[in-house]
Chains A and B, each alone.
Chain A
């Protein structure tokens, strides 16, 4: 399995508070992605990174920001959490030489916003 960890694995927070989720990889892969998974929607891309300090928006980026100051870490921040951001968040990485298109997923973070 690809070396991807996510922290925390579970979090309960209140509306209006900031929340930061961390994705850490040990594969030295170039690309990193944040998705959210909701029933009936599959997985939807929030933000992605194509290198250190190089990030871009996905299809559901409103209310989220990201940062990548090191190859191995990709942080997702909810500046002011809302109940609509209750979801399961997955980090993914890709960049295996000769198979850059293949994404490997972390175990997920379950976030509940009350």
Chain B
């Protein structure tokens, strides 16, 4: 079975500050890991993903995440927050084969303070 835990349903940061959104997963098989962003009244947009290879993955809009197997984590970071980063962020896990069904975390709403 697979599961995802996102610590902190709401996170606030000042503009220009570091963004850190936490994601821990549980998986009995090698996982694929994803971060998606959702702006109000829109669908989900892929930020980045880890499948195989390099454990530090870079995505769109200056975000990156590091797969740490020993810590079962895939935290999302951005060095400097912009007002436009305010959105809800979802971490998801799937198996590395088959129908690629996702298990999503419950989401973290990021607020950026001026």
Question: Which A residues lie at the B interface, using CB under 8 A?
Answer: 31, 33, 35, 40-45, 48, 50, 56, 58, 90, 92, 94, 100-108
Contact = CB atoms under 8 A, between A and B. Distances in A.
Contacts of A48: 99, 101
B52 to A, nearest CB: 11
Given A31-B99, A42-B106, A101-B32, 13 more contacts: A33-B101, A33-B102, A35-B104, A45-B102, A48-B99, A56-B99, A94-B100, A100-B100, A102-B34, A103-B100, A103-B102, A104-B46, A107-B42
B49 interface: yes
A106 B45 CA distance: 9
A33 B34 CA distance: 16
A56 B1 CA distance: 17
A41 B106 CA distance: 5
Interface of B: 9, 32, 34, 36, 41-46, 49, 51, 90, 94, 96, 99-107
A44 to B, nearest CB: 7
23 contacts: A35-B104, A40-B9, A42-B104, A42-B106, A42-B107, A43-B90, A43-B102, A43-B104, A44-B104, A45-B102, A45-B103, A48-B101, A50-B99, A56-B99, A101-B32, A101-B51, A101-B96, A101-B100, A103-B34, A103-B102, A105-B36, A107-B42, A108-B42
A58 B32 CA distance: 18
B90 A42 contact: yes
Nearest to A110: B41
Contacts of A102: 34, 46, 49
Given A42-B105, A42-B107, A44-B104, A90 B44 contact: yes
Contact of B101 (A58, A90, A100): A58
A90 B43 contact: yes
B14 to A, nearest CB: 26
Contacts of A40: 9, 106
Leading 5 A-B pairs by shortest Cβ distance: A105-B43, A42-B104, A105-B44, A42-B106, A101-B100
Contacts of B44: 43, 90, 92, 105
A43 B107 CA distance: 9
